[in-house]
Amino acid sequence: MKIRLFFILFFYIIALSAQDKLVLFFDFNQDIINEKSQQDFCKWLEHSKGKEILKIQGYCDSIDSNSYNKELSFRRANNVLALLEFNKVPLSKKLELYGLGEDFEQLKNQSDNRKVLVYYQDKISINKKTDNENLVFEKDQVKEVPVNETKNNISLIEKVNNAKIGDLIKLENLNFYFNSERIITESEPILSDLLQVLKMNPQLKIYIYGHICCNENPNDVKLSYRRSKFVFDYLIRNGIATSRLGHRGFGSSRPIYALPEKNEAERIANRRVEILVVKK
């Protein structure tokens, strides 16, 4: 029994020593890696063959509220996950994704705190077994992101990758305040995902289509137009060229379910934002 425990500990130490990390930095209040880190990521990507991602941790500086920084750090971690997924970097089946916010020992230089740490390891190290038992890594004492918080992120990338010119893609869970073009806080990562997809696909050109529910006047397009423009403006502010984008509001003229809707599920389905793939 002691010999068995010795070998488990021995291979556990080897696995930890083989683990490495990639550090990616962000500009103030941004959830997309900065230009320098984009270059660093591309260099790392050239040598990423045979690597598998184990853990992604997002961090923030101490500016703004703790709750906002926690949410921003989750977005940063999610966007790095999207970047890895887009570039087909293998992910561990037990991938851990965290947002620590500002809850760590802050460095004096605030820019050094705006980061994501990506822990990775050679597949051969991960697949080592001792007495038919997989090595188990201890988790940090921080809140883990539920699986469903990253699901939409990955599915948007998959949809764009698989889309053909002329395909419509719904931005799942992009929700707005009642009778407003302002998105709810929980939907902000969806816009970040779309921005990441456009940045990683420089040839991609899209039109943004807004739709509403409940209004049986098909000519009333004002709210749907403002919502499509909100998405359009967000992308422009974050560096996407206007030549790659267009937007339009259709009101309730293109419902998924006939008006008047029978229930809330049908109303939710009808009030949506879609992107049309114009060029890839």
Query: Are 119 and 138 contacting, i.e. CB atoms less than 8 angstroms apart?
Result: no
pLDDT for res 112: 94
Are residues 208 and 189 part of one domain? yes
pLDDT for res 250: 92
Are residues 6 and 141 part of one domain? yes
- Please tell me what DSSP assigns to residue 144: B
Q: Could you tell me the two tokens for 155?
A: 């599915």
pLDDT for res 133: 37
The Cα–Cα gap between 255 and 263 comes to: 14
Strand 168-170 to strand 273-279: parallel, antiparallel, or no bridges (unpaired)? antiparallel
Instruction: Give the predicted TM-score (pTM) of the model.
Output: 0.49
**Residue 239: which CATH number?**
3.30.1330.60
Are residues 41 and 107 part of one domain? yes
Low-confidence ranges of the chain (pLDDT < 70): 1-19, 124-155, 178
Number of H helices, E strands in the chain: 8, 10
Domain that holds residue 192: 150-279
Are residues 57 and 71 part of one domain? yes
Are residues 156 and 247 part of one domain? yes
pLDDT for res 99: 87
Query: Are 269 and 257 contacting, i.e. CB atoms less than 8 angstroms apart?
Result: yes
CB atoms within 10 A of CB 71: 20
147 CB-near residues (< 8 Å, 6+ apart): none
Are residues 224 and 174 part of one domain? yes
pLDDT for res 114: 95
Are residues 157 and 135 part of one domain? no
Are residues 183 and 109 part of one domain? no
Are residues 129 and 13 part of one domain? yes
Per-residue DSSP letters for 97-130? EEE-TT-S---SSGGGGSEEEEEEEEHHHHT-EE
